Amino acid sequence: MKSIFTLSIVLATSFGSMAKDVADSVIRVASTLQSYNPSQPWDKTSPRKRRALAAILPDSQVLTTAEMVTNANFIQLESANGAHQMPAKVVAVDYEANLALLTPSSDEGKKILSQFNSLSISASAHLGDSVDIVQIEDNGMTLITEGRIQRADVVSSFVPGHFFLNYEVKASMQSAANSFTVPVIKNDKLLGLLTSYSSKDQLVDIISPEIISAFLKDTKDDSYEGFPSLGIATTSTTDTHFRDWLKLSSDKGGLYITRVLPNSAADLAGVKKGDVLTSISGKPLDRRGYYQANGYGPLFWSHLIRGSQPIGSSVKLGLLRDGKPLEVSATLKRSPEGIIPSHTYDKAPRYLVKGGIVFQELTKSYLRAFGDDWTMRAPLNLLDALNHPEDYEKGRKRLVFISAVIPTPATLGYESLNSVIIEEVNGQAIEDLPSLIAAFKAVPENGIHSLKLDGQPETIYLDASAADTVDHSLLTRGLPSLSRESE
């Protein structure tokens, strides 16, 4: 996946020999971000700004987090004095791992950037190691905060549900400009990028060098593939009665597999729902899915797949099926996106407005728009689809639903209808938004569109002539478009 943005890049300056060396290897980033409105997908939300520091890498490249370029319509990197500016483009971005690679778009820009000190990537750190967190004030002053690595863990830093190796660092950071994310240095090398900071606990989370190195290695060719996944959902085996039912001995760990995604690496390897995953690449898993990692202690099993192995590699999976041990080989691949994508960053949402009824494709991003407690506030039927997609997959590529109803002469009586999943229109099964648009183009019997719903009411009707009149009126009143078929 590639994106191109206009940037101005300026290198930071500072005081003192050590600070000067660090400042020559970082640049300040200012981004203007603007995402699509979840409830009105034809519009965008108000712009918001972020400021951060990024690390300069060899070959005139710049590393930052995906959060700094997601849904961006303008990015600028600048120093205190504004001495050097240049446009740039995004080479690769991985939202799940929260990483983005930039480079100047002009030869002149690359030449300027090459004159400054680039950072190489550090080797893996150890618990207790000291690190330097770099910040630069608006006045050009460099702030170096020393921290110490307390633990390593597999966490989700940007896209929920996607977990990667992070270091937890104990540090007391100062409030400074450009600090949405900043580089973390160890022995003059880039150890990672800050993704979060708790001032209360004085804890910093940083993306580990293993994940950064894997990301950069994947960007070397013209086709960025991303990180692999097994494509399974699991639960722990800590409950004694559950373990007895699974025929797990007291000295055996493992995770119960609750779901295997169709066409995933696990599915193609023959893994089944109900299997117990006991080991990966010879490393045994405990009852909560942790294994003993050299230098880190216990880590969650997903790091043995995401961050440790590239797409196309083969791993041995130890399983227990009906109480009997089994070993299979899985060739790693990207996990299928499924009918409900985990994110749609930098993609325009597909939608249709027909007679005042607003249809969209369900995404996890849409559900998260209900707020911090979205798992309690979002519509129950849509949450059920998210938690049990296997119940909705048959015949579908995406899940299309009614997100809102604009009061019009064509929607009388339906004004309160929302969050209802569409099954058929005019007798045609709906597999995604384009198929919905095609179904409405068919001439309905008696001039009435028939919509079969997964809920109450089971069927609603839309007068085709009245809907066409309303559509024309909505365009006249300022709606920019009645539909978007492509992302």
Domain locations in the chain?
17-218, 232-331, 351-484
In the 8-state DSSP scheme, what is residue 325? E
Taking CA atoms, 387 is separated from 136, 162, 367, in Å, by 43, 15, 12
The yes-or-no verdict on residue 177 having pLDDT over 90 is: no
Contact between 121 and 190 (Cβ < 8 Å): yes
* Fold observed for domain 17-218: Thrombin, subunit H (2.40.10)
The yes-or-no verdict on residue 80 having pLDDT over 80 is: no
pLDDT tens string 407-465: 999 999 999 999 999 999 999 999 999 999 999 998 888 999 999 999 888 999 999 99
Q: In one letter, which amino acid is 403? A: S
Terminal Cα distance for the chain, rounded:
13
The yes-or-no verdict on residue 14 having pLDDT over 60 is: no
Collect all residues with Cβ–Cβ distance below 8 Å to 372 and sequence separation of at least 6: none
The yes-or-no verdict on residue 13 having pLDDT over 70 is: no
**Same fold: 17-218 with 232-331:** no
Phi/psi region, residue 398 (left: phi>0; alpha: psi -120 to 50; beta: rest), is beta
Collect all residues with Cβ–Cβ distance below 8 Å to 234 and sequence separation of at least 6: 255, 256, 257, 258, 277, 289
pLDDT tens string 272-300: 999 999 999 999 999 999 999 988 999 99
Taking CA atoms, 21 is separated from 188, 274, 480, in Å, by 9, 55, 51
pLDDT tens string 299-337: 999 999 998 899 999 999 999 999 899 999 999 999 888
Class of domain 351-484: alpha beta
The HSE-up count of residue 94 (CA atoms within 13 Å, CB side) is 29
pLDDT for res 487: 75
Structure tokens at 98: 């929260």
The yes-or-no verdict on residue 8 having pLDDT over 60 is: no
In this prediction, residue 161 has a pLDDT band, given cuts at 50, 70 and 90, of: confident
The yes-or-no verdict on residue 1 having pLDDT over 60 is: no
pLDDT for res 436: 97
> How many CB atoms within 10 Å of residue 262?
12
Look at residue 336 and give its three-state secondary structure.
coil
The yes-or-no verdict on residue 15 having pLDDT over 70 is: no
Taking CA atoms, 336 is separated from 5, 133, 204, 270, 333, in Å, by 28, 37, 32, 16, 9
pLDDT tens string 256-277: 999 999 999 999 999 999 999 9
Please give the Cα distance from 181 to 195 (Å, whole number): 6
pLDDT tens string 186-231: 999 999 999 999 989 999 999 999 999 999 999 998 789 999 999 9
Query: What's the mean per-residue pLDDT of the chain?
Result: 90
Collect all residues with Cβ–Cβ distance below 8 Å to 73 and sequence separation of at least 6: 5, 32, 33, 34, 47
Nearest to 237 by CA among 264, 217, 257: 257
pTM of the model: 0.88
Locate the DSSP E strands across 156-262. 164-170, 183-186, 189-198, 203-207, 232-235, 255-260
Q: Which CATH architecture has domain 232-331?
A: Roll (2.30)
In the 8-state DSSP scheme, what is residue 18? H
Taking CA atoms, 414 is separated from 358, 381, 425, 460, in Å, by 12, 18, 16, 9
The yes-or-no verdict on residue 244 having pLDDT over 60 is: yes
The yes-or-no verdict on residue 7 having pLDDT over 50 is: no
| Residue given tokens 């797990």 in the structure block | 248
In the 8-state DSSP scheme, what is residue 9? -
pLDDT for res 178: 73
Average confidence (pLDDT) over 170-178:
84
Structure tokens at 425: 């229109």
| The residue count for the chain | 487
Percent with pLDDT over 90 in the chain = 72
Structure tokens at 303: 């790091």
Structure tokens at 457: 């009411």
